[in-house]
């Protein structure tokens, strides 16, 4: 194995770690906004790491251009989709737990 393949495997392992952290975050946290946070940040980092690892492991193959397009697509759309879902949840009246002050709506909530 050369250094390029070892870096590819390291990125695979890093991506798997981020995917596991995403799954644990989705299970552990009850607040919908925290789940959106884990879904956008960790899942994006995991997918980008795994796809980058595939590029490094295989080298410049026929599908490298498609993987790069998927990387750009994921990096742009996953955070935007999570933001849109969080905004929709907020507009329907779902508020984060332990909210002290709501700067967007002007409502002041008590902390439980």
Instruction: Write down the pTM of the prediction.
Output: 0.78
Res 95: pLDDT: 80
* Distance between CA atoms of residues 22 and 20, nearest Å: 5
Whole-angstrom distance, CA of residue 83 vs CA of residue 79: 6
Per-residue pLDDT of the chain (112 residues; tens, 9 = 90+): 899 999 999 999 999 999 998 889 889 888 888 888 888 888 889 999 999 999 999 888 888 899 999 999 998 998 899 889 988 988 888 888 777 777 776 555 555 5
């Amino acid at each position: 194995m050369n250094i390029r393949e070892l870096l590819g495997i390291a990125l695979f392992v890093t991506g798997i770690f981020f995917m596991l952290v995403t799954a644990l975050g989705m299970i552990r946290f009850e607040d919908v906004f925290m789940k959106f946070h884990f879904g956008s940040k960790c899942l994006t980092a995991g997918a980008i790491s795994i796809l980058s690892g595939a590029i490094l492991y295989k080298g410049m193959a026929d599908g490298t251009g498609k993987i790069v397009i998927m990387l750009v697509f994921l990096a742009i759309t996953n955070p935007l989709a999570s933001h849109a879902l969080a905004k929709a949840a907020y507009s329907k009246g779902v508020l984060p737990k332990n909210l002290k002050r709501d700067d967007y709506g002007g409502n002041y909530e008590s902390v439980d």
